[in-house]
Amino acid sequence: MATLSVRSVEKSYALGQEPVEVLRGVDLTLEAGEVVAVMGPSGVGKSTLLNCVAGLDVPDRGQIEVVGQAMNTLDDAARTLLRRRNIGIVFQFFNLVSNLTARENVLLPFLIEGQTPDENEVNRALERVGMSARASHLPSQLSGGEMQLVSIARAIVKKPPLLLADEPTGNVNVETGRRIMRLLKDVSREVGSSLLMVTHNPADAAQTDRVLFMKDGRIHPEASLSSEAVSRTAVDERLSALGI
Ligand SMILES: Nc1ncnc2c1ncn2[C@@H]1O[C@H](COP(=O)(O)OP(=O)(O)O)[C@@H](O)[C@H]1O
Ligand SMILES: [Mg+2]
């Protein structure tokens, strides 16, 4: 069973009188443990796609299945549960809760499900991202890179089958970005999660198993790169061929 299956997904937003068609038939599949990058021009709908997969937004048409369960036909409450149990999310702007410490943010995935936090898992996650020494800091006392490391710990603490990352290195410096990318890839392997990551950074995309290119509301399967074909040069070539 695929970890994620997206079939013919369409999504429009109303902008004044005119609907803006953002997703116009998106198809993609992630097998267990795959690390896949999605690239595309700004405004093409990459975040919209991730939000639909996460059940934070709902497509107009099409099917989304996460670990074999239909995401988009569920009601709000059931969608929320499916997300909490199966998906870890790393956002572009971290989305940490500002009045909770780093450690408390990593406890949250347990608390929102009414579970007693597994202290060992929380410590292990903080340790794994190198943030144990900052565990009692508030987000405002952390750098952007450190906030992103904490949000990675929060995303992996329950070892979800699917990790989503939306431009995870977009708001940190280059050196930290490299570290975050390496970490995301390594932890998804360790935890056994599939990782779907949106990125503008060809160097980040070149480190994944497969690179998908989105243009005009669709993923172009003929442009995608997989296994040995994935390289920095090949990614750059595709981007310029597609005019991205
Ligand atoms: N909630 C919304 N309401 C109206 N338009 C939206 C909304 N979210 C996104 N859009 C529009 O949908 C398009 C795709 O946005 P987005 O998915 O954020 O693109 P990307 O992440 O690829 O830059 C943009 O034109 C954006 O303005
Ligand atoms: Mg975006």
14, 33, 106, 144, 188 from 120: Cα distances, Å? 46, 24, 12, 26, 19
Ligand 2 center from residue 47 Cα (angstroms): 4
Measured between alpha carbons, how far apart are the two ends of the chain, in Å? 33
Q: Which helix (H) or strand (E) holds 148?
A: helix 144-156
Q: What is the pLDDT along the chain (244 residues), one digit of tens a residue?
A: 899 999 999 999 988 888 899 999 999 999 999 999 999 999 999 999 999 999 999 999 999 999 999 998 999 999 999 999 999 999 999 999 999 999 999 999 999 999 999 999 999 999 999 999 999 999 999 999 999 999 999 999 999 999 999 999 988 998 999 999 999 999 999 999 999 999 999 999 999 999 999 999 999 999 999 999 999 999 999 999 999 8
Give the single-character DSSP code of 43: T
Ligand 1 center from residue 17 Cα (angstroms): 16
Q: Which ligand is nearest to the CA of 39?
A: 1
- Smallest CA-to-CA distance from 195 within 70, 90, 45 is with 90
State how many domains the chain has.
1
CATH of the domain at 57: 3.40.50.300
Range of the domain at 180: 4-241
Q: Which of 18, 46, 48 to mutate to test ligand 1, by most ligand atoms within 8 A of the CB atom?
A: 48
Does the predicted TM-score (pTM) go above 0.85?
A: yes
CA-proximal residue: ligand 1, atom 17 (nearest):
45
What gap in Å lies between CA 131 and CA 113, rounded to an integer? 24
Residue recorded with tokens 């699917």: 162
Ligand 1 atom nearest to 44, measured from its CA: 22
